A = this chain, B = another copy of it.
């Protein structure tokens, strides 16, 4: 029997009244709800800055134990996660202390506390102040020796608002000897992927049995549990596939004792990281270095072109995210024809529902441990916490078929992090993943050699190239971060920027706090110079349109070019998908709480599993210039595809036909056509948009892919 907690929260560090505290939730969010005078709306203006005053506080959840215990039962405290350093106290006496928010903790209160465990006893969860490696600078480096997601210490798209508290399921439970303490199903697949040997690990002091159901819901095995184990071979398994390549087949199992039950799902799949096609041919000549490390996901023997986005936390307060919110976010990604999220290390680990939903929707997950852009140097304390938290994360996620890749963390081998392959943290994570999930590949960080991150603006700062030009000149085994900023909708802007600051955007106030300025250099993410050069910024609405247009067309350029570079290139994963609060401008395709930007539609079009595209080597073309482009049929399906492509250009309502061609793409391969060109008319206004339309007919059905390019002197 489970008993939910009903806590009151308070802080001994200030004169605020106690307040109702949510489970799960975050104590600072509860505090704000109870104290509307503290700030008006964390998403509005510079209100979020007031949160910094709360940082040094200790918070206490307090309640009286409420439960009924039958004979033979013992009372347990169970939590899936409390953020970040905390104690448990009974009647004011601390009896347990913990560091780390990702470890499931189960404690038998009766065994620890004896006859003090009675209904009505005072029960406290004491949340210590956030870990801070140093006082200054007040930035992510303060989190460089802990396993708390560093993002909340401030990022270029995240305000400095640090949450804590009971962020995941936490309850009391009375347990009898029939309680199932642990149940897990693991398997090995035969080399030919036809059969699976499944082993159930069911820990229960009394007799138990396991029932297994196939994806259709039909019972296929009933197994007694002996010495904590049950096993079965499933023949002709229905494999789990990512979206686009097959069904998301999930087998369900149920373990039952006389008084308890537990259940879970199995998605049979084999995941590998194999060499990118052609990468063994490099390097050539002597003296010779190594070949690039593998970065091609192979799912069930099929090399998958991974197209997706970087998933970041959807809320500043991770405790308040709902399954419905997760589901909408994931659904939007699959609707945009994505098949992978890189779960970025700066954001930490999600609640279980997220992984269940990714299993269901066929979103593959590249899961990073909570390290990002810091030097997590070797110290006994940090390594001990990382071992605990890393183990907990692996054990929590390892049965999700969606989890196809572990990664130590984000951008650790670059000069803003200063970590190397020799750092014990990353060697430890390699060891833990080897021991606990040798069947799932592990990389230490991203990017590795051959993999590429950035750029993050429509015009590359170093070279001055637009993203069409930059990426057609680039060669990467993967593009695992690339970003183009887009302003969110005018309606959203009005809800976050005070009237007197609204337009035009200026640095130093709310626009800057919402990342329009000085987020990544002085001018990003707004990049007003770029907007002005290419479009209309005379009104807020016009500026939003210009920005979202450039975001969409820029993302289209990169996603499609990366796909054309397949099979050498194996991934196109933009930075980033969603955002945890109202960013005025951000590289995200989905604004706060699942608001689509217009780039969502262009990316959706670019990521269609079969799509006709044209390769263009720059964005802006001059009047009278010869415009040229190369038709490509992209095919990520396992079927061969034949298509008729025709390319035309529309300028000021007049359509110019460039040519047509027939292209045959083999299974999971692209097909390249020969160049088309035409001379751009001279007598049209500067800054006119030119629509390039690639119409493609497959099996009698015609679809089109549009690019809104620019004519510019």
Contacts and interface: CB of A to CB of B under 8 A. Distances in A.
Contacts of A284: 462
B422 A273 contact: yes
A219 interface: no
A451 interface: yes
Given A287-B476, A447-B290, A450-B289, A427 B418 contact: no
B422 A452 contact: no
Interface stretch (A18-26, A32-40, A438-446, A581-589): A438-446
Contacts of A447: 288-290
A50 B178 CA distance: 70
A456 interface: yes
B413 A287 contact: no
Contacts of A273: 420, 422
A275 B294 CA distance: 23
A346 interface: no
B285 A413 contact: no
A291 interface: yes
A290 to B, nearest CB: 4
Given A415-B280, A427-B430, A430-B431, A420 B462 contact: no
A285 B463 contact: yes
Contacts of A476: 287, 289
Nearest to A479: B287
A462 B471 CA distance: 30
Nearest to A423: B294
A285 B453 CA distance: 10
A421 B442 CA distance: 9
Interface in A431-489: 431, 434-435, 438, 441-443, 445, 447-456, 460-463, 470-471, 474, 476, 479, 482
Interface in A43-83: none
Contacts of A453: 286-289
A255 B372 CA distance: 47
Nearest to A275: B420
A545 to B, nearest CB: 26
Contacts of A460: 285-286
Interface centre among A284, A285, A454, A482 (most CB of B within 10 A): A285
A424 interface: yes
Contacts of A288: 414, 447, 452-454
B455 A422 contact: no
Nearest to A446: B290
Contacts of A452: 286-289
Nearest to A452: B287
A63 to B, nearest CB: 43
Interface residues of A, number: 56
Contacts of A538: none
Interface in A247-287: 272-275, 280-281, 284-287
B286 A455 contact: yes
B287 A420 contact: no
Given A452-B289, A476-B287, A281 B431 contact: no
A673 interface: no
A595 interface: no
B442 A434 contact: no
A580 interface: no
A377 to B, nearest CB: 12
Contacts of A438: 424, 427
A385 interface: no
Contacts of A415: 280-281, 291
Contacts of A430: 427, 430-431, 434
A290 B417 CA distance: 11
A428 interface: yes
A293 interface: yes
A162 to B, nearest CB: 29
A291 B413 contact: yes
A290 B442 contact: no
Nearest to A475: B287
Contact of A290 (B280, B427, B449, B462): B449
Nearest to A477: B289
A453 B289 CA distance: 6
B450 A414 contact: no
B294 A421 contact: yes
A414 B287 CA distance: 13
A574 B427 CA distance: 29
Interface in A525-583: none
A450 B421 CA distance: 14
Contacts of A418: 275, 280
B428 A482 contact: no
Given A424-B434, A430-B431, A463-B285, A290 B441 contact: no
Nearest to A272: B422
Given A431-B435, A449-B449, 9 more contacts: A273-B420, A285-B462, A287-B476, A288-B447, A289-B447, A289-B449, A289-B453, A290-B413, A430-B434
21 contacts: A272-B422, A275-B418, A281-B415, A286-B455, A287-B452, A287-B454, A287-B455, A287-B474, A287-B476, A288-B447, A289-B448, A289-B450, A290-B447, A292-B449, A293-B420, A294-B420, A294-B422, A422-B441, A422-B442, A427-B430, A430-B430
